[in-house]
Structure 1
Amino acid sequence: MFLNTISAGERIVTTSWKKYDGEMTVSDDKRGKYIHKANVMDEEMIRSVCDHVKSFSLVESHYIRKDSKKLYLEDVKSASRMFNLYSEWFDSDKYRNKASTKRQYRDILNANFNIGFHKPKKDLCDVCHVYCNKEIPTEEEKSAFLKHQSAKKSCSCTKTAGQK
């Protein structure tokens, strides 16, 4: 009957009684007050994630490289998939600490690399686009594509040398 009079539940009364310290005050509300954990990502964990990412082939953009320094992963399509591959790749003999969650892995990835998973749509030139769409390219097409790639790299090197 008392609870209905003050329109309160039984839990509110029992909690208030537990917090009562014998004086006319009730202890402070402690909700939301917690001690922040120290950063649990040590250098060994960061090094293991960086070594894993460096084991993939990172490709720069073809057309928009002048606007962005972002590198792209050809083989993997998401950070979640990268973490799954990292879990399989991790060698406990070589590294002491492992990124235990996808969040830790993604935080280290974003802090140390400028990586994109989906190449921009406007990235391929016509030669590259035709070659990528071929299911089984001939030897002649392969050699022409390799020549195109080497010309692209030499132009890029000449351009960077000219900027210095």
Structure 2
Amino acid sequence: MARLGHFLFGIFSALSLFGVHAAPADAKISVGDIVNALKLNLVTHINATITLESLTTNLISINFDVKNSLPIELTIDRVVSKAGINGTVFATFDHTFTKPVVVPLLGTANSGTINNVLLTQGALASLDIIPLGFLDLISTDVFVRAFTIFGMLGIPIPVTGIKQSHVPTAYNLALS
């Protein structure tokens, strides 16, 4: 138990050091910058469902799997994301979870269905990226609480500007 305490103290000391002391007064290093620098690859898989209605509304549904590499429970309350290919945004959403996503320590969790994801290039143009089988997270902000207990309590930590390349993506065409 003492080792865990020392480990957690070290993590938060390092975050404090990088976020406050290592940057010039006019620059800030965010938790998202640290996640990007360490290439933690938080999102392990995306599932996108395209319906016949998507062709006229340019809206799809998605869900994603997220990995927690820390020995503490994390709870996700909200995600704001832009995803695409080679810097071109194809999909965007801002979703607040009615039931927050609890990601167990050193575990994974699925987001559940997120509806009304906007295809910014239109549904027909977006069909061209399906054969690639991946998406890039161009910019993702995650509003997370750390040290939660079964999704309750916790310390709010906004993780902004997450970037991740080549997230495996499955496209489900529900055209019937």
Question: Which of the five TM-score ranges fits, normalised by the shorter chain?
Answer: under 0.3
Structure showing the higher strand proportion among its residues:
2
Larger radius of gyration: 1
State TM-score, norm by structure 1. 0.25
The TM-score with structure 2 as length reference comes to 0.24
More helix, by proportion: 1
Higher relative contact order (CA 8 A, sep 6+): 2
